[in-house]
Structure 1
Amino acid sequence: MEGLLIHALLRGLLPELPALNLGLAFPNEGTLAVLLKGQSGRIFNLVLHYRPPNPSLVLEEGTLLGEPKTPFQRQLSARVKGPLVAAEQLKLDRVVFLHFAGEKGFVDTPPSVLVFEATGRNANLLLLDEKGILLGVDRVITQEVNRYRELKPGLPYTPHPLRQAGPENPHGGRPKGPPGEAPQGGGAPRGWGGPGAYAGAGPPGGPHAGKPPRGGRARPPPPGPQGPCGGPLPAHGAF
């Protein structure tokens, strides 16, 4: 599922928020349906097909049924409570954050966040607390699988690497890297309390940036662009 399709769906969902959470259903082991009543009075399902290879996010009318079928689904049923108060997309990438307010009762249920990564063969669904700590994961990712991005309960959530456009990737798409390793980069939506940078990212230029070569002094940097009178050009945006 492409980021632009997700963006269009969220544009239709946002006017209905906050939406009353009428309950969760699990039609199969890889599907979650949240029955919502929006601000317009409309009742509909927010359906997440979160297993590879073809994840999707859709709005459906009618009644969907199904009891939890996996330990993770049982955790979702117990922990995802209260109104859906916000739905955010990670830039225009295929990652969605669904914020639930929690509910008061005999035993209070605190707020939670569902993170849906609709990233093809790497698709996943994650449950976070309001501080960005992983409470549950459909597909656990260990360091043996991805040394940059570990996803398992108890760890801070590491955002999915963004598919950014650049000189070597003019049309966007996931940057290329060594087989089996995730590229660095990424971030969480503005205002969210979780980590905002990809784990393992370092300063530009690598660990040896700015150090002189062995046996000699560091070379001076090349001169910058010159203005019409021989002086340096003003900084971008300066007048």
Structure 2
Amino acid sequence: MDGVYISAVACRLSEELTGRTCSRVTRPFAGGLGLSIGGRMLLLDARPPSPAAWLGDDGADDGDPAPQPWSDGLAGTRLEEVRQEGLDRILVFEFSRVRRYCNPLMRLIFEMTGRNCNLILADSGSRILACTRIVSRSMSRVRTVRPGETYEGPPSSGAGLGSWREDRVLEALGKATSPEEIHPLLEGVGPATAGAILEESRASGRKVPEVVAVLGSALESREFAPWASVHGPMPIRLGEGAPIADVLSPPSGGGPAGACRKAAVEILEARRAFLERKLEKLRSVLDGVPSEDLLRLRGAILLANIPRVPRGAEEVVLPDWDGMEHRIPLRPGRSAVENAQRYFRKARNAAVERSRLESSIRETRAAIGELDAALAGGSGQCRIDRLAGAVGATRGAEARSPAGRAMGGGWTCLVGRSARENDEITFRIAGRDDIWLHARGAAGAHVVLRHESRGQTPPRAVLEAAAALAAASVRNRPDVVPVDYTKVRYVRKFRGAGPGEVVYTGEKTLFVRLCSARRGGARPGEAK
């Protein structure tokens, strides 16, 4: 949705919620936030590319409690103001807290900017406390968004509402014949609104500047008549379409519960697509497995014709017991018996591989069938939620971490308990900017230190505690264990590496002193 339509959304939110208290904060789905305000549930959906805000009835199925920065910052506050930044696609919710020992003002900023949408929590000094999406310098040359930094909004484009009547703007609008010529001129007007303006101009016979003037007057007076045009939602009637009863109406499916169901269905559909790709790959690999009967036959023919197999030959043509000739590739450096044994060994391996692949294909087909039944409506909402939760548990980093330990301050430590778990937390769960730790030159656990808001720098105490976990996993450890740490992006597998075997670069080292009296369960001591 464009900025001009968000003006209508901001106006309705202000009318409905200003002056009411936020009693709790939930996370109904990944990328979303639920605010229980005055007995209503405000859902902010920051999932790209279609962010949305809607208002529904407060209920018990509105998701899990939000993480600490969000709940601590907003729960128990009073919503003082809802405003839009100019005509940008940004909603700002200002909350105040009565308790004196807390920050008197909190700002929740909803950047409804398509694929770059974000939810940001900032204090009265514009210091970012939390966000759903971190923006690094490599992602944007204009600004960065991460907890601890000062918030800066995205740059606006086009003339502000107060400049729409300027001669230079009116002259440019009078010459415009396509949406691409209109939307860069006016703040809050995107390609959708620009297309609707042109359609309204052609249908009504009015010039483009006249249609824009009507739109500007509605925005200034805040007299909206929301309209669902063929181009998208509009704050007033523009082009063909139908009226919108309420800009805050929940999507079809029913408010928070509908949003949760939609998120669950999206998870299941993504999982089904993944399983289809997996099934196709398994079938392709199965087709490439050589026939174990043919391999055994070649081995038996070689043993029956040992004198006829010259040493050093790369292949040989020999008849079977029915007189049919077979061209058999050989290893030149091996004898006829050794080549025969190689074929028998390959036959055994092929049989095991075929059995494994066929079992995986059956399991994958069964999983696809279960998902199809749920998506087709053969299962209730509880069934869909359970399946989506199971899928999330297999692919979500937090849910599937082999051994997660809360370290305080939003930090979590993942500890591998086996070589395969080491690979899983390092290469499947950890983010590229998470901190990876391992005892230098010793077999032990991979430890990954991560924050609920990615890209954070761990406090010294948290880093030392994680290093102590890595040191404690080493067998026959000395009293002082050197522990290397680096970012996960600098950890990789090498050719021929087994499970848990890696190489890494860019490391720094902590020297962890462990209690020598407790060899079975060392505790962290001094880190240097």
Give the TM-score category using the shorter length: 0.5 to 0.7
Of 87, 90, 94 in structure 1, the residue corresponding to residue 85 of structure 2 is 90
Alignment coverage as a number of residue pairs: 166
Aligned residue number for residue 56 of structure 1: 52
Larger CA Rg, structure 1 vs 2: 2
Q: CA RMSD in A?
A: 2.5
Contact 2:31 2:45 in 1 (8 A): yes
Instruction: Return the letter of the residue paired with 1:44.
Output: R
Of 105, 109, 113 in structure 2, the residue corresponding to residue 115 of structure 1 is 109
Instruction: Return the letter of the residue paired with 1:127.
Output: L
CA distance in 2, matches of 1:111, 1:157: 15
Give the unaligned 5+ runs of structure 1: 38-42, 176-239
The DSSP-based 3-state class of the residue aligned with 2:119 is strand
Aligned residue number for residue 178 of structure 1: none
CA distance in 1, matches of 2:185, 2:27: 31
User: Following TM superposition, by how much is the alpha carbon of 1:65 offset from its aligned partner in structure 2, in angstroms?
Assistant: 2.0
| Residues 2, 100 of structure 1: alpha-carbon distance in 2 compared, 3 angstrom cutoff | same
User: Following TM superposition, by how much is the alpha carbon of 1:46 offset from its aligned partner in structure 2, in angstroms?
Assistant: 1.6
| Residues 149, 60 of structure 1: alpha-carbon distance in 2 compared, 3 angstrom cutoff | same
How far does the alpha carbon of each residue in 1:18-64 deviate from its partner, in whole angstroms, 9 at most, with x for none?
11212112111111111111xxxxx3222100121111111222425
Contact 1:6 1:57 in 2 (8 A): no
The DSSP-based 3-state class of the residue aligned with 2:183 is coil
User: Following TM superposition, by how much is the alpha carbon of 1:122 offset from its aligned partner in structure 2, in angstroms?
Assistant: 0.5
Aligned residue number for residue 509 of structure 2: none
| Residues 67, 104 of structure 1: alpha-carbon distance in 2 compared, 3 angstrom cutoff | same
Of 86, 93, 96 in structure 2, the residue corresponding to residue 101 of structure 1 is 96
Task: Please give the residue correspondences for 1:11-22 in structure 2 after superposition, counting only pairs within 5 Å.
Answer: 11-16=11-16, 17-22=18-23
CA distance in 2, matches of 1:173, 1:66: 39
Contact 2:103 2:123 in 1 (8 A): no
User: Following TM superposition, by how much is the alpha carbon of 1:163 offset from its aligned partner in structure 2, in angstroms?
Assistant: 3.3
Instruction: Return the letter of the residue paired with 1:83.
Output: R
Instruction: Return the letter of the residue paired with 2:131.
Output: V
User: Following TM superposition, by how much is the alpha carbon of 1:84 offset from its aligned partner in structure 2, in angstroms?
Assistant: 0.8
TM-score when normalising by structure 2 = 0.29
CA distance in 2, matches of 1:174, 1:45: 37
User: Following TM superposition, by how much is the alpha carbon of 1:145 offset from its aligned partner in structure 2, in angstroms?
Assistant: 1.2
Aligned residue number for residue 183 of structure 2: 172
CA distance in 2, matches of 1:174, 1:129: 33
Of 128, 131, 135 in structure 2, the residue corresponding to residue 134 of structure 1 is 128
Contact 1:102 1:110 in 2 (8 A): yes
CA distance in 2, matches of 1:112, 1:2: 26
Stretches (4+) displaced over 3 A: 107-110, 165-170
CA distance in 2, matches of 1:8, 1:60: 17
Task: Please give the residue correspondences for 1:4-43 in structure 2 after superposition, counting only pairs within 5 Å.
Answer: 4-16=4-16, 17-37=18-38, 43=39
Out of 160-169 and 78-87, give the one that drifted further.
160-169
User: Following TM superposition, by how much is the alpha carbon of 1:109 offset from its aligned partner in structure 2, in angstroms?
Assistant: 5.2
The DSSP-based 3-state class of the residue aligned with 1:83 is strand
The DSSP-based 3-state class of the residue aligned with 2:64 is coil
Aligned residue number for residue 2 of structure 1: 2
Question: Is 1:74 matched with 2:68?
Answer: yes
TM-score when normalising by structure 1 = 0.62
Aligned residue number for residue 312 of structure 2: none
CA distance in 2, matches of 1:173, 1:65: 39
Percent of pairs identical after alignment?
28
The DSSP-based 3-state class of the residue aligned with 1:78 is helix
